[in-house]
Structure 1
Amino acid sequence: MKNKSKILFIFMILLTMLFTACTSTNQKEVKPDDSKTQQGEIKTDEGKSSSDSKVNIVFRDGVTALTLAKMMDEKAIENINYDMVASPDVLTSKVLNKEADIAIVPSNFAATAYNKGLGYKIVGTSVWGNAYILSKDESVKTLADIKGKKLTLFAKGLTPDLMTRFALKSNGIDPDKDVEMEYLSSPTEIAPAFLGGKADIVVAPEPMATAITLKDEKAVRLASLNEEAKKAGMENGYPQATLIVKEELIEKDKDLVDTIIASYENSIKWAVENKEGLATLSEMYELGVQKPAVIKGLENMNIGNFVITSTKDYDKYFEILKEDNPQNIGGKIPDLNAYYEK
């Protein structure tokens, strides 16, 4: 019975990681021992750092990687291994196996990691909700016009689905009665369905949403799920990608942790203010977001507002996920002890 529970727990984590992480438009599979890393990396046969002083930062390619671009390029802090992975299961395993000293993960997994006692603290959010409802149906001008239409999306029962349902309900639309909800098996099927004429209204994450609008001039952003979350009382919207830090590292060298956090905050700020430079670094380091998508779509990726001044947005977001299934966040809304204090 215990084995079955353990398998179910890991399966739930893999599902949530797959669909809440930021989606890349041009991903290539990266195996655990092929993870892209920056200068100074030292690995053993197990893929772990061979130096106790080396801090392993693990993150997904795509929008999340953009937040680290300047920090990686400057190499201002020595003994950091930037471990970029292209699949959610690799990211999950590195946190579960505690290979990650620092990781940028979907926020619901950050809650799960804390609730399951994995030994990580929540530091802040660097990417807020960046999924959009796109339409090329000329009769649909507002979200209310979706009534009676077909909405194509992915990840049934997971964050994209739950936040879409939340947005619809907030606008007086019953997703189970007023809309035909068509679920595709993978987010990678969304763009082909829309561009190929099989779907006129879709939910698409960044940078996919920008890629679609660049290829189809009839595509319009009908609604931002993040803006809908703001209307419901979340100051910044819903937290999509969260940085977590291993408690062991905090106890060992809190000053170093604070230095890394400060450098990361500067990297985020630079990314928001320098789209041309960011696009160049994305191409240089193969971060998984094509240069045109960075230039045209950066403002829609919702990078920024990293520092936590209140847990209100987290609590509201976690409550939405918990109402659907408590296991979406590991059973309960994390208490204040889950959050890192400078």
Structure 2
Amino acid sequence: MKQFLCLLCVLLLTTGCNNTNNSKEDTIDVYALRGPSVLTVAQFLEGNTYVDGKKIEVRILDSPQQIQAAIIKKEADIALLPLISAANLYNKQIDYKLLGCSVWGSIYLIGRVDSIQKLGNESVYMFGKETTPSILAENYFQKNGFPLGITNYNYSVESPQELTGLLLSRRANAAILSEPFISVALRQDPSLSVIADLNQLNGEEGFPQTAIVINP
């Protein structure tokens, strides 16, 4: 978190945190995706932090699409979102700059069985098609000789909170989730367990999951 605060100071000194809305010129608007990204800005949630006279205002949103919309509309001075979402914006030539990556690999497959071989035809629920969780899941299943058919993936949920609720209500028996939702689900339902760690890619420890981008 200290590193993030240092990045804010550098940002103010070099860019001034441009904001097109004059009524907001005394604030730094930080948008973060609910989930592990929030840990990066947790110390600012009380709203009493100032950098160079500018108040840090943190907004927590429920989906990457909402964060992307705020970036495109230039409502966010700083945004924390999945790296793949940031890459998609970059490919669309959206004028934001990458500051760094604050979260590395916290995605797991959990369910009511103890191995992927026991999943059978069970649907695997996940949040967001072609997002980091879905890409990691497909990569993991293929590498382990268990390529699920497209009908076995269920992308009907719109947020990690909704997905956690499906697991706890037993309307879903297998899901791809990240922290802190993993811990919440495991604590509330002892029948759930971690089936697989999806954070090991090609023998490497973790991967950049959350990107910090700024409005230059």
| Pairwise TM-score range, normalised by the shorter structure | 0.7 to 0.9
Aligned to 2:86: 110
Aligned to 2:211: 242
1:163 maps to 2:133: no
Distance 2:45 2:172 in 1: 39
Distance 1:91 1:50 in 2: 21
Alignment equivalent of 1:63, drawn from 32, 36, 55: 36
Distance 1:119 1:213 in 2: 40
**Matching residue's letter, 1:152:** V
Q: Name stretches of at least 5 consecutive residues in structure 1 with no aligned partner.
A: 1-45, 248-342
Aligned to 1:221: 194
Aligned to 2:145: 172
Alignment equivalent of 1:185, drawn from 156, 165, 169: 156
Aligned to 2:70: 94
**Matching residue's letter, 1:122:** L
Aligned to 2:4: none
Q: Is the 8 A contact 1:56 1:99 kept in 2?
A: yes
Aligned to 2:169: 196
Equivalent residues in 2 for 1:1-342 (5 A)? 48=21, 50=23, 52=25, 54-71=27-44, 75=49, 77=51, 78-88=53-63, 89-137=65-113, 140=114, 142-143=115-116, 145-146=117-118, 148-155=120-127, 157-159=129-131, 160-176=133-149, 181-186=152-157, 187=159, 188-226=161-199, 228-229=200-201, 232-237=202-207, 239-247=208-216
TM-score, normalisation: structure 2 = 0.73
Q: Give deviations 1:244-297, integer Å, cap 9, x for gaps.
A: 1223xxxxxxxxxxxxxxxxxxxxxxxxxxxxxxxxxxxxxxxxxxxxxxxxxx
Which structure is higher in strand share? Answer: 2
Q: Is the 8 A contact 2:36 2:178 kept in 1?
A: no
After superposition, the Cα gap between the structure-2 partners of 1:87 and 1:47, relative to the gap in structure 1 and judged at 3 Å, is farther
Q: Is the 8 A contact 1:128 1:236 kept in 2?
A: yes
TM-score, normalisation: structure 1 = 0.49
Cα RMSD of the aligned pairs, angstroms, is 3.0
3-state SS of the aligned residue for 1:209? helix
Q: Give deviations 1:147-166, integer Å, cap 9, x for gaps.
A: 63414213463222221111
Q: Give deviations 1:175-205, integer Å, cap 9, x for gaps.
A: 229xx71415114443344333344332223
Distance 2:32 2:147 in 1: 36
Distance 2:173 2:91 in 1: 40
**Matching residue's letter, 1:244:** V
Q: Is the 8 A contact 1:49 1:56 kept in 2?
A: no
Distance 1:199 1:181 in 2: 12
**1:50 shift after superposition:** 2.5
Q: Name stretches of at least 5 consecutive residues in structure 2 with no aligned partner.
A: 1-18
**Matching residue's letter, 2:179:** E
Which structure is higher in helix share? Answer: 1
Q: Is the 8 A contact 1:184 1:190 kept in 2?
A: no
Distance 1:217 1:56 in 2: 39
